[in-house]
Structure 1
Amino acid sequence: MLSKTALEKLNIFKNEDLLHHYPFRYEDLRNYKQGVVISSKNIYTRFGKTVQKILVKIDAGIKEMTYFNQPFLIKTLRPGVSVSLAGNEYEVNGPLIHTGRLVPIYPETKGVSSKALRRRIHNLLRFTKIQDWLPNNIRIKFNLIDLNQAIQQIHFPKNQAQINSATKRLSFDELFLLQLEAIEQQKAWKEKKLSYRFNLDQEKILSLIVSLPFDLTSAQNRCLKEILSDLEKNQPMNRLLQGDVGSGKTVLAAIAIYVSYLNGFKSVLMAPTTILASQHFNTFTAVFAKIGIKIQLVTSSTKGRSASDGDIYIGTHALLFRKLNLSNLGLVVIDEQHRFGVKQRSQLISQTKTTPHLLTMTATPIPRTIALTVYSNLDFSILDEMPAGRKVVKTWVVPLRKRLSAYHWIETQINTHHIQAFIVCPLIEPSEKETMQDIRAVTHEFNQLNSVFNQLKLGLIHGRLKNKDKDHILEQFRKNKINILVATPVIEVGIDFPNATVMIIENAERFGLAQLHQLRGRVGRSEKNSYCLIFSQNQLALKRLKYLETNYSGLKLAELDLKLRGPGSLYGLKQHGFLQLKLASLTDIDLINLTRQAALDCQPLTSLLKKQLEKHTMNQISLN
């Protein structure tokens, strides 16, 4: 009997989940023999263990089978019982499920073996018929087999061709439902009532751009044109702006917010950390210094201050819980959007009766295949060019034997050129929250580094510090009173110190390539030469890490991550359900395009498709 609790660890809550718990491989046990048990006994060892010796007569010979710590076997494999044997696998009576076929091997957990799953699924398939929700015209057009046939073949195939046809159908279903979900979200957004269609005062917008202390790149001009075009439409903007750290996303948000201000509307910018919110506040204060726009900073540390009379509210999650006058809200900007849950984003937008324009920004590189699936409900702008004067961060994967030499080189750089450095220590477990174990690990590293750099001043910052303590340390670093800042990656968002030109990343194998690229983007913020030294004790990871020495495109590195390590390596994508894809591949651009077209062909949705999409959406919510 399979335990309900154990099954739930595999995300199996009902019979339908069991049918969609697919094998990850098959064992070819088609070469089998049939025989009769002539002897079975338990042998007890001195250590309280048991050994099972089973003798089976096969044709003219006898086969001895040995098992360990399974005393119940002598009751199952008792003399006179007919068995099928393939290797050391046995099966009593028919039909052949565990031998004599391509045998499915499933993801398991304690108390749930593949053998038990096979028996349960086989019995279930005998009495279950699933309603095929995919329209016939789509199945015929894309040469897909029936859903019941696909489920049968994925679990108990007769040959590789059946595995292939089942995988094709079920992979199609997974991506097709993602595409349908994205299209429905896009339709729902476009049906929302816009708070106000903005007029563009070209002269004032140009005047602001000219007043900036730098020229916009061609990529910034292209993305700005896309954003301004959205703001003129009758429907609310829903655009995602993606660009590497330092590519100039914030200034485009500032221009969009200025347009909102010129039209007499308020704007909100929400950032994931106090550090980043404060940095945006300082940037916007400088940009709008001569215009007279009232800007309010709203974070947990500004609690108690009046924030009711701002034109622009910049803050963290605290924006959701403060009494703000947002009745005239025209634009919402969300920075590092993957750091916020769907509910948090919608909570901010739903504070007004009508829908404001929405601009979300991220420095997380989004591979094209991912942009074409879940993110297809958004309009997409990519900043693929860095501002003039930004130098590439020279990156080296440093052999462990050269660690002390690297430390000496850093100390020389600090003493000679008066620069500063970051040393980033990874979390023990990949997570957006730091455990006390993580803090102990980074604190231990900090103490060790203090003895190495005993002539320099070191600081330690991590996510568990109070905001005022973080602010104090960062202010010390800003004033160059701290030479080396030891940090965890959780606080990498928002740190911008042009004098910091060297970064060390410890245990780099724990990071994806794109996240390593984001981390090194915290140096190289000036015209000085900047460097990133990568340390790893994992020899197998060195080849992957070497890509960073020659590749400086976050997008290309994210594509490499996707191919080399799968979607789990892409920071911030878990909440979108990518990790729940069981058969479909996010590198299969052809299938992604086919399912996109199929989803468009199915508009408007039949009642059966609507029902299946609702079920899919609820499953995604419960799994996340």
Structure 2
Amino acid sequence: MALSLDTPVQFLKGVGPRRAQAFERIGVRTVEDLLYHTPHRYLDATSVTSIAKAAVGNDVTLVGRVVSKAVVPTRSRLRVFRAVIRDSSGVIECAWPGQVYLDRVIQQGQLILVTGPVKYFHGRQVNPREQIVLAESDDEGLADEMSRGVVLPVYPATEGLSHRQIRRLVADHLDQLVACAEDSLPAAIRDEAGLRPLKRAFLALHRPTAPGESESGRRRLAFDELFDLQLVVMRARHLAKTARVGIEFKIKKELTTALKETLPYELTRGQKRAVREITTDMAANQRMHRLLMGDVGTGKTVVALFAMVLAVENDYQAVFMAPTELLAEQHAATLTGLLAPLGIVPDVLIGRFSAAEKKAVRERIADGTARIIVGTHALIQDTTDFSRLGLVVIDEQHRFGVEQRAALIEKGEAPDVLLLTATPIPRTLALTFYGDLDISTLKEKPVSQTAVKTGVRSGRDRDAIYSFVRQQCGLGRQTYVVYPVIEESERVDLKAATTMAGELEVRLSPFSVGLVHGRMKAEERDAVMRRFRDGTLDVLVATTVIEVGIDIPNATVMIVEHPERFGLAQLHQLRGRVGRGSEEGHCVLLTDDFQAANRLKRFARTYDGFRIAELDLKERGIGELTGVRQSGGFNLRYADLTTDTDLISMARRAALDILSGDPNLSQDAHIPVRKRIERRYERGMELFRVG
């Protein structure tokens, strides 16, 4: 039968309904899916040594048929799995001490590849550190291939569908599959980026002729997915700015000038630049969609306040939504102090208010009496109506869902939107995932803030650390103690928050100790946090629920147990909780993991949140960076954001060039690209996210 990209995979010869079900478990439903199901590694048989030439002392890769196998006990009671393999030049024994399970995996007659050192033990013997079954006993063709020295693809597999079966199916049908591929990338873009045509890219991935050739195929698929992502986020940005005409705020310099003159401190250069960028956006007739990104303590709130005051002096309302009631209360207190000289008192709407209190605030919001409103999720309820909403500010925007953000924005006709995040995001990620937003960045901290002293210590220093905590508490200061787990477990040998809170109560007596963790009810957790904020608790034992938390200027010490379990960006967020007042802050990373010590010492010397985020991205990948948003159906399978920076830049430029002349991708040359996006991505060109 003639194949097309949407032909169900079950109709390929050798698949059928049962294997099709197994393929579905790994996301392969159609011919196109199978083409894009690329190998996750390759076996380089071009460097295979014949068994006869496997010399003692050398590290070798051998391919041979299993002629016998057995599990052999030793005098030390260690059981060893042994297998004898043969190629056309001879035989050799392979031994796997303690790996008896391989007796169920490796069978007589199979063709296997082993890599490891050759030693002498009653004759030559290989101790493989890697082994893989290449073929069953009836597959002579593969043995011939391996003897000729090929690069063998190894595919992601699943139960009931081995990598060998997938490799054979792809090999049998590859020419037909590749013939179906439609290259929708304009040739001019492809040539400028130095990329392979799509069909040649698939051949390089599924049938490489030399080690390393597959990389050229991966780069082509990586560029395609980055290019598609850029097109979608830029398209979303275009729609967000032009779907409805924005408010053209007038720069009256009345309240904004008064705010600047009454601030108790001078704005940093970064804050001044961000205020200018936001003001320019708000003065335009297109809607503002801007992300204000700044490290802990760089002063995002006061920058947002200038935007809110600009809205107010144009007779519009401004709303500030925070993810927790404690943060909302904190922001309300900060704004109240800064706005007092202007005669403006912000209104607060949070869930714990009584029905009567909430009703009174909602009435003030509805009739326009409330001009600046601070609140939580209570703001997005149906019963909350705004009189003339002009600006929406959302703090820690990644902690709200798309629908929650949109629900607040829809309370106005076409309000400007300012999103705040305390998580520094590397430039490559910002360009890739936040392309639908303009971005302002704050890096400088006020001169009054000093860097938190950070040190790496081991368990033998615990007594000295606790003595230091007692000294700080004796001076009227407060301490955080953070743990990565909540309860003791037999399987995880970690100091758990619940256990250690009790121990610290004894060791730090008479100082008071409180506990917060993620399994507590929100109201219980907030009650403990309020006690700590108000100074009635000296020590707060916590899991990472305090990572993005309230400001406690009196907190000067942060102890992190098992810091090796945290990402560097997480540790940086935790460190930012102390040293927020006039006293010096101290962060102690308490670990007995000597392998992690160098990594933690590098962190201790680094205070630039953006640099730390880059390190975290390289170490742990995109999923570990808090604040990196879900990409709306885009799962980067081929691109590596730490190494493909050139592809990211090229994809962004190419997308900008195309959309500047054809924002709807309606020209004949661009229709194939649009169809690919619609076909391959869940929400396609309908993808539109605010923030």
Unpaired segments of 5 or more residues in structure 2?
Answer: 1-14, 52-63, 74-78, 96-101, 115-130, 366-370
CA 1:70–1:236: 2 relative to 1, 3 Å: closer
In structure 1, give the amino acid aligned to 2:336. T
1:314 to 363, 374, 386: 374
Taking the aligned partners of 2:144 and 2:354, their CA distance within structure 1 comes to: 65
Taking the aligned partners of 1:427 and 1:257, their CA distance within structure 2 comes to: 40
Q: Is the 8 A contact 2:227 2:655 kept in 1?
A: yes
CA 1:528–1:70: 2 relative to 1, 3 Å: closer
CA shift, 1:293, in A, is 4.0
The corresponding residue for 2:630 is 575
Q: Which moved more, 1:550-559 or 1:186-195?
A: 186-195
The corresponding residue for 1:433 is none
Taking the aligned partners of 1:133 and 1:546, their CA distance within structure 2 comes to: 48
Q: Does residue 1:520 correspond to 2:569, yes or no?
A: no
CA 1:69–1:547: 2 relative to 1, 3 Å: closer
Residues 490-527 of structure 1: per-residue CA shift (max 9 Å, x gap): 23323111111111111111222222111111111112
The corresponding residue for 2:210 is 159
2:251 to 196, 200, 220: 200
The corresponding residue for 2:454 is 395
- Number of positions where the alignment pairs a residue of Structure 1 with one of Structure 2: 603
Residues 56-110 of structure 1: per-residue CA shift (max 9 Å, x gap): 6836x56789972269x56xx4xxxxx8775574541436798452122344555
CA 1:443–1:291: 2 relative to 1, 3 Å: same
Q: Which moved more, 1:398-407 or 1:22-31?
A: 22-31
In structure 1, give the amino acid aligned to 2:141. G
Residues 185-232 of structure 1: per-residue CA shift (max 9 Å, x gap): 221122121342111221321111222222222221111111111110
Taking the aligned partners of 1:279 and 1:559, their CA distance within structure 2 comes to: 30
Q: Is the 8 A contact 1:40 1:52 kept in 2?
A: no
The corresponding residue for 1:406 is 465
The corresponding residue for 1:149 is 200
Q: Is the 8 A contact 1:192 1:235 kept in 2?
A: no
Q: Does residue 1:379 correspond to 2:426, yes or no?
A: no
- 1:201-350 matches, cutoff 5 A: 201-293=252-344, 295-302=346-353, 304=355, 305-306=358-359, 307-310=362-365, 311-326=371-386, 328-350=388-410
CA shift, 1:544, in A, is 1.5
Q: Does residue 1:58 correspond to 2:88, yes or no?
A: yes
Q: Which moved more, 1:260-269 or 1:187-196?
A: 187-196
Secondary structure, counterpart of 1:533 in structure 2? strand
Taking the aligned partners of 2:254 and 2:292, their CA distance within structure 1 comes to: 24
Q: Is the 8 A contact 2:455 2:604 kept in 1?
A: yes
1:598 to 640, 646, 654: 654
CA 1:248–1:52: 2 relative to 1, 3 Å: closer
Residues 514-559 of structure 1: per-residue CA shift (max 9 Å, x gap): 2211111111111211101111233222211112322211111112
Q: Is the 8 A contact 2:66 2:111 kept in 1?
A: no
2:678 to 593, 596, 614: 614
Same amino acid, percent of matched pairs: 38
Q: Does residue 1:456 correspond to 2:539, yes or no?
A: no
Residues 246-289 of structure 1: per-residue CA shift (max 9 Å, x gap): 11111111121111111121222221222111211222222233
Q: Is the 8 A contact 2:320 2:394 kept in 1?
A: yes
CA shift, 1:115, in A, is 2.2
CA shift, 1:21, in A, is 3.1
Q: Is the 8 A contact 2:50 2:87 kept in 1?
A: no
Q: Does residue 1:533 correspond to 2:593, yes or no?
A: no
Q: Which moved more, 1:20-29 or 1:451-460?
A: 20-29
Secondary structure, counterpart of 1:517 in structure 2? helix
Taking the aligned partners of 2:521 and 2:142, their CA distance within structure 1 comes to: 64
The corresponding residue for 2:42 is 26
2:240 to 157, 172, 189: 189
Taking the aligned partners of 1:480 and 1:38, their CA distance within structure 2 comes to: 73
CA shift, 1:320, in A, is 2.2
The corresponding residue for 2:645 is 589
In structure 1, give the amino acid aligned to 2:88. I
The corresponding residue for 1:432 is none
The corresponding residue for 2:141 is 94
The corresponding residue for 2:121 is none
Taking the aligned partners of 1:618 and 1:567, their CA distance within structure 2 comes to: 21
The corresponding residue for 2:6 is none
Taking the aligned partners of 1:517 and 1:39, their CA distance within structure 2 comes to: 53
Q: Is the 8 A contact 2:134 2:164 kept in 1?
A: no
1:179 to 230, 236, 254: 230
Q: Is the 8 A contact 1:422 1:487 kept in 2?
A: yes
CA shift, 1:294, in A, is 5.6
Q: Is the 8 A contact 2:327 2:550 kept in 1?
A: yes
Secondary structure, counterpart of 1:193 in structure 2? coil
Taking the aligned partners of 2:635 and 2:509, their CA distance within structure 1 comes to: 45
CA 1:13–1:362: 2 relative to 1, 3 Å: farther
Taking the aligned partners of 1:557 and 1:4, their CA distance within structure 2 comes to: 44
Q: Is the 8 A contact 2:480 2:541 kept in 1?
A: yes
In structure 1, give the amino acid aligned to 2:307. A
